[in-house]
Chains A and B, each alone.
Chain A
Amino acid sequence: MATGTTTMTNDTILKVEHLSMKFGGLMAINDCSFEAKRGEITALIGPNGAGKTTVFNCITGFYKPTMGMLTLKRSNGKEFLLERLRDFEINKVAGVSRTFQNIRLFSGLTVLENLLVAQHNVLMKASGFTVLGLLGLPAYKTAAREAIEKAQYWLEKADLIDRADDPAGDLSYGAQRRLEIARAMCTGPELLCLDEPAAGLNPKESLTLNTLLRGIRDEGTSLLLIEHDMSVVMEISDHVVVLEYGQKISDGTPDHVKNDPKVIAAYLGVEDEEVEEIEEQLDHATVEGGTV
């Protein structure tokens, strides 16, 4: 695969450089650059319409960016330019999997089958692209058993083991969210991208979600998530990137971002007379902080 022009340090898994996305006359993302570190939870936040989901769709191959470079480095040192891969290869080759803002499960398949579909590429190879599997060779049977074991592992993690044989469409909203994460994890990704995983969850479900996501991180998968629920963002993320109108306005630890006047202005809005005051503060801050 193509190698990125810039060298990446080993602890960076995803590097977004000068990403721009134009829809007709609308600049949805304008020259946005950030990095996601390996083994960390990186959160992408911003007001509605800031372009978070667009960034996501560029990274996961659903949009082709107008400009910019998206470099992913796998743990074996291989680098991939995501914008050059075909949509399904981003998962298959580069090891990036995602969930969706509006849940996209295979509602007519059972919970277990959902997780088996996610292991398609591994099973395809084991079944000799169906030919050997049709003949009933033992290699495929072993692979199929292993796939079910892997699914079982993630079902237990997501607390869905009792619902394994029910149709996915029959699950409650919170359970569907967890199943979608479990399904994404069954593809064996190195980077998991979550589009608003806590949307529509009650506080208790949010809490279990936090535990699940931390568990995933501790097992070595890096996470990139879009989230509106600040309790989730501030509690679990190691690194926060803030977008507004398609541009990055802040980048740093949750505490840093929380106190950044630019972020506060973006989220709360400011009165006209305060604008100058804040701009002054900002100038001051950039002089002091240097790289804010």
Chain B
Amino acid sequence: MANGYQNVQEDVMAKAVKEGAVAGIIAFLMFLVFVGIETYQDINNQLVWRTRWGLLGVFVIVAAVGRFVTVGFIKPHLDKRKLAKAKTGILEVSEEKSFFHKHFLKIALVFLLCYPFLAMMIFGRQGSLKYVDNFGIQILIYVMLAWGLNIVVGLAGLLDLGYVAFYAVGAYSYALLSANFGFSFWLLLPMAGILAGFWGIILGFPVLRLRGDYLAIVTLAFGEIIRLVLINWTDVTRGTFGISGIAKASFFGIWSFDVGAANNFNKAWGLPSSSVYYKIFLFYVILALCMLTAYVTIRLRRMPIGRAWEALREDEIACRSLGINTVATKLTAFATGAMFGGFAGSFFAARQGFVSPESFVFLESAIILAIVVLGGMGSLTGIAIAAVVMVGGTELLREMEFLKHIFGPDFTPELYRMLLFGLAMVIVMLFKPRGFVGTREPTAFLRTRKAVSGSFTKEGHG
């Protein structure tokens, strides 16, 4: 027996060495041209090339060792653990949830409420600026956008590749109306949402006759049309120069955050002059907007309209046979999603103080959609986690200065942002094909609330 076991062990090692070597060879061939050779312009503006054998070596070694460790150690270990668990008779999926798991939402909310002050305590007033603004506000904007798109893609099952158009409508609504008419943020926030929702209906009418791939392509085109209009309608939008000097949001009209204003917030409260207080204020505004989005989504799901959205995702023909007006139902989903995009857009404009068509490219739509899909379509918690991982992760890459010591001073981690973004998506989709939270919470129950496994829900087809 022991001998046999040893044989198996040796077999595993041999296999691991072999697979590691194969992975190394494949990595070498793949990265030979991409990483091993670098082209650059010399002083005479001639294109010349040089080799980067060291970097190529790192890539190959990582691939080979990674594969070796996976096959030789990690997989046998996991198999052994599974076997041991099966022997003891404990179910793989334990019914008992841990304290953290059960109270995750409450813990997350408390953490978010304390976050700006924690950041200030740890990093000081100026140091915390980065954490509140780049991490906090940035992530929450994406959470809100993804929750808005979730209504269209996750609930109603309409694949919308041009969601950023509504974000742009919201942002430009605020920028233009505040610059030209001097309306305040608190008046323009709902107006921007309504305008974006209105645009959602206008775009929805012609588009929603289409289904599936066709719908995706047409929404993509509409997204681009909006951007091109913003670029070319220079009389109003100032084209690629964008609109700058957009008014800041005020503290509900009571205190202003403009430095020169008489009712300056910092002066009124005797605080030192620093922009961090404005950022903290904005953090709470976007947090409140996110909570509003989540609350409305949760409430709507329990309404007949929300159920009709999900039914539409599952089977459109059956919906029609049950007397549901599918066109109106799709339009409401489109308009509601667009409205939240508009809210986020007007907030973005107020936070940035500057909008230009650059901010509303297709890549933004793709990132928002990726967050929705990675999070698990329809699940608010999953989407929030995905936003933290994706947006926070890429922001974190800017901080990875130590990588320069490994890859040399020329290495700029931000440039690998998209590569890692893609890599993370592939990995998540391999291990969690239904996203981080693949189950669906039922909206009504008779006896017990049981989560619906992701294998039953459909993705929608238009």
Q: Which residues of chain A have a CB within 8 Å of any CB of chain B? A: 60-62, 87-92, 97-98, 100, 104-110, 112-113, 116-121, 123-124, 127, 129-130, 133-134, 148, 152, 155, 161, 164-170, 183-184, 187
A to B CB contacts below 8 Å, 24 in the list: A61-B320, A62-B321, A88-B323, A91-B320, A98-B321, A106-B310, A106-B314, A107-B457, A107-B458, A110-B445, A110-B450, A113-B307, A113-B443, A116-B443, A117-B308, A119-B304, A120-B323, A120-B324, A130-B332, A134-B296, A134-B300, A148-B446, A165-B449, A187-B323
Beyond known contacts A91-B321, A109-B311, A120-B323: 9 more, CB 8 A cutoff = A88-B324, A98-B321, A108-B452, A117-B304, A134-B296, A148-B446, A164-B447, A165-B447, A165-B450
Which residue of chain A lies nearest to B329 when distances are taken between CB atoms in the complex? A120
A109 touches B442 (CB 8 A): yes
B304 touches A124 (CB 8 A): yes
Q: Which residues of A contact B447 (CB under 8 A)?
A: 164-165
In order of increasing CB-CB distance, the 10 nearest A-B pairs are A108-B457, A91-B323, A92-B323, A106-B314, A169-B456, A123-B304, A104-B318, A164-B446, A167-B456, A117-B311
B320 touches A88 (CB 8 A): yes
* A117-B311, A118-B322 known; A108 vs B446 contact (CB < 8 Å): no
Which residue of chain A lies nearest to B454 when distances are taken between CB atoms in the complex? A108
B315 touches A104 (CB 8 A): yes
Mask of B177-209 contacts with A, CB within 8 angstroms, 1/0:
000000000000000000000000000000000
Q: Which residues of B contact A123 (CB under 8 A)?
A: 303-304
Q: Which residues of B contact A108 (CB under 8 A)?
A: 310, 313-314, 440, 452, 456-458
A60 touches B321 (CB 8 A): yes
Which residue of chain B lies nearest to A93 when distances are taken between CB atoms in the complex? B323
Distance between A148 CB and nearest chain B CB, rounded to angstroms:
7
Q: Which residues of B contact A92 (CB under 8 A)?
A: 323, 325
Those of B26-68 within 8 Å (CB) of chain A: none
* A113-B442, A120-B307, A165-B448 known; A187 vs B322 contact (CB < 8 Å): yes
Q: How far is the CA of A266 from the CA of B47 in the complex (A)?
A: 82
Those of B422-448 within 8 Å (CB) of chain A: 440, 442-448
Q: Which residues of A contact B456 (CB under 8 A)?
A: 107-108, 167-170
B317 at the A interface (CB under 8 A): yes
B296, B308, B319, B444: residue with the most chain A Cβ atoms closer than 10 Å: B444
A88 touches B443 (CB 8 A): no
Q: Which residues of A contact B449 (CB under 8 A)?
A: 165
Q: Which residues of A contact B324 (CB under 8 A)?
A: 88, 117, 120-121
Which residue of chain B lies nearest to A60 when distances are taken between CB atoms in the complex? B321
Q: How far is the CA of A124 from the CA of B300 in the complex (A)?
A: 12
Distance between B296 CB and nearest chain A CB, rounded to angstroms:
8
Q: How far is the CA of A97 from the CA of B446 in the complex (A)?
A: 25
Q: How far is the CA of A165 from the CA of B443 in the complex (A)?
A: 10
Q: How far is the CA of A165 from the CA of B303 in the complex (A)?
A: 18
B444 touches A127 (CB 8 A): no
Q: How far is the CA of A88 from the CA of B329 in the complex (A)?
A: 12
B322 touches A183 (CB 8 A): yes
Number of A-B contacts (CB under 8 A): 140
Which residue of chain A lies nearest to B459 when distances are taken between CB atoms in the complex? A108
B453 at the A interface (CB under 8 A): yes
CB contact between A167 and one of B300, B317, B452 (< 8 Å): that residue: B452
B307, B323, B326, B444: residue with the most chain A Cβ atoms closer than 10 Å: B323
A130 touches B304 (CB 8 A): yes
Q: How far is the CA of A33 from the CA of B322 in the complex (A)?
A: 26
A60, A87, A155, A165: residue with the most chain B Cβ atoms closer than 10 Å: A165
Q: Which residues of B contact A187 (CB under 8 A)?
A: 322-323
Q: How far is the CA of A184 from the CA of B445 in the complex (A)?
A: 20
Q: Which residues of B contact A183 (CB under 8 A)?
A: 322
B305 at the A interface (CB under 8 A): yes
B299 at the A interface (CB under 8 A): yes
Q: Which residues of B contact A61 (CB under 8 A)?
A: 320
B446 touches A112 (CB 8 A): yes
CB contact between B444 and one of A98, A112, A124, A166 (< 8 Å): that residue: A112
Q: Which residues of B contact A97 (CB under 8 A)?
A: 321-323
Distance between A61 CB and nearest chain B CB, rounded to angstroms:
8
A106 touches B311 (CB 8 A): yes
B452 touches A109 (CB 8 A): yes
Which residue of chain B lies nearest to A168 when distances are taken between CB atoms in the complex? B456
A87 touches B315 (CB 8 A): no
A92, A106, A108, A119: residue with the most chain B Cβ atoms closer than 10 Å: A108
Q: How far is the CA of A153 from the CA of B310 in the complex (A)?
A: 23
Distance between A189 CB and nearest chain B CB, rounded to angstroms:
9
Q: Which residues of B contact A130 (CB under 8 A)?
A: 300, 303-305, 332
Q: Which residues of B contact A170 (CB under 8 A)?
A: 456
Those of B314-352 within 8 Å (CB) of chain A: 314-315, 317-326, 332
Which residue of chain A lies nearest to B305 when distances are taken between CB atoms in the complex? A130
Q: Which residues of B contact A169 (CB under 8 A)?
A: 455-456
Q: Which residues of A contact B319 (CB under 8 A)?
A: 88, 117
Q: Which residues of B contact A100 (CB under 8 A)?
A: 317-318, 321
A105 touches B318 (CB 8 A): yes
Q: How far is the CA of A61 from the CA of B317 in the complex (A)?
A: 11
Q: Which residues of B contact A104 (CB under 8 A)?
A: 315, 317-318, 321
B458 touches A165 (CB 8 A): no
B310, B321, B456: residue with the most chain A Cβ atoms closer than 10 Å: B321
Q: Which residues of B contact A110 (CB under 8 A)?
A: 442, 444-445, 450, 452
Q: Which residues of B contact A116 (CB under 8 A)?
A: 304, 307, 443-444
